[in-house]
Structure 1
């Protein structure tokens, strides 16, 4: 992130961080450790260990709780049919994040076709809610 922020064309006041799967959970955790660097966080079906692992609940909650120090609003986007992170598991992670002081919105989308863990690949499903989130953060959208 330091390399990105050092680029002369980067507006340091308009940086958001986001990712899918491990990138989503790392984005939330990073924002909590470096809240001064980001204006928003977008988590697409985030998690570190899939629910097939015995320690998934402990590891995933712990990483998401690291993000709770981020003072801004975050957005968490999940879909039915994810083979790694069920909606019930992901909601528990979000509840732990909130209990630790994190702020955000948890949104779910129905499974159409084979979305599940690949939600990020279907912008027609989530683009409107992400654009609304960006506007609330005072950031431009693709339509502006």
Structure 2
């Protein structure tokens, strides 16, 4: 474990055992994560587990190289300033994590569902690992993420609500809109909403290149109709990456996030 200062933040590289055993090594694959400890060491701190998106479709030719490590420093700083610890895991086959990239992009519901399950396993391994740390309050954990990681966080919270106080969805969706597969995201959100116990915050830009405003509203209606509680914010057009990189614009979402955290009982 190596501590690295990042403009007043300190980060540590964590090695987390996954739930899947490598048949060659005869041990669990390891997940690499960047961890930002809380500023106040007086007692256990609430935690945000932040889940990344597709990382360029898992290939080095993608927009984000497969082995790039996404640390989400600016997002970590926002939560750090409010008393949270923050961890950003790289799922199997990405960054410094072992294993194979298994999150399919095929227009096939079964393949997509298999990839989503692999991702949920990695989130679960991370949450359970962090719960064992003495500096983390295991009863106050938020799951959050961007793009695929946004949907993943909402779904994980719906399937595994124990100990989670909320979920945060930045521009979330597992697959871009397509005539054959447009119901995949909606059906996944319905499943999550049926089991959700904690509130959720959804943050999208109106010009998201992957998801239309009408589609986003249908997903939100499906989630809340199934029993989930989610507050949806649709912000005006964002010019970076055709609206999909809203998380890089804290000036837009910070007030909504502050209000959500206060709703959950966090004060600073």
Question: One fold, TM greater than 0.5?
Answer: yes
Q: Distance in 1 between matches of 2:156 and 2:199?
A: 14
Higher relative contact order (CA 8 A, sep 6+): 1
Q: Residue by residue, what CA displacement relative to the aligned partner does 1:76-129 show, whole Å, maximum 9, x if unpaired?
A: 111021111111111101111111111111111001433610000111110111
Partner of 1:86: 212
Q: Is the 8 A contact 2:140 2:164 kept in 1?
A: yes
Structure 1 residue 32 and structure 2 residue 158: aligned? Answer: yes
Rounded Cα–Cα distance in structure 2 between residues aligned with 1:103 and 1:50: 24
Give the whole-Å Cα distance in 1 for the aligned partners of 2:165 and 2:217: 23
Q: Is the 8 A contact 1:29 1:65 kept in 2?
A: no
Stretch moving more, 44-53 or 75-84:
44-53
Question: Structure 1 CA distance, aligned partners of 2:204 and 2:167?
Answer: 14
Offset of residue 6 of structure 1: 1.4
Contact 1:81 1:111 in 2 (8 A): yes
Gaps of 5+ in 2: 1-126
Match of 1:67 in 2: 192
- Contact 1:79–1:109 under 8 Å retained in 2: yes
Tell me the secondary structure at the aligned position of residue 139 of structure 2.
Answer: helix
When residues 18 and 53 of structure 1 are mapped into structure 2, their CA distance, relative to the original with a 3 A threshold, is: farther
- Give me the whole-angstrom Cα distance separating, in 1, the residues matched to 2:198 and 2:175: 25
Partner of 1:43: 169
Alignment partners' CA distance in 2, 1:34 and 1:99: 19
Question: Greater helix percent: which structure?
Answer: 1
CA shift at 1:139, angstroms?
Answer: 2.0
Q: Distance in 1 between matches of 2:179 and 2:130?
A: 34
Kindly name which structure, 1 or 2, has the bigger radius of gyration based on alpha carbons: 2
The residue matched to 1:67 in structure 2 has which SS?
A: helix
Q: Which has the higher strand share?
A: 2
Are the counterparts in 1 of residues 238 and 246 from structure 2 also a CA contact under 8 Å?
Answer: no
Count of paired positions: 140
In the alignment, structure 1 segments of 5+ residues that lack a partner are none
SS of residue matched to 2:214: helix
More deviation in 84-93 or 109-118? 109-118
Which TM-score applies when normalising by structure 2? 0.50
Contact kept, 8 Å, 1:31 with 1:37, in 2: the verdict is no
Match of residue 76, structure 1, among 202, 221, 224: 202
1:22 equivalenced with 2:151 (yes/no): no
How far apart are residue 54 of structure 1 and its match? Answer: 2.3
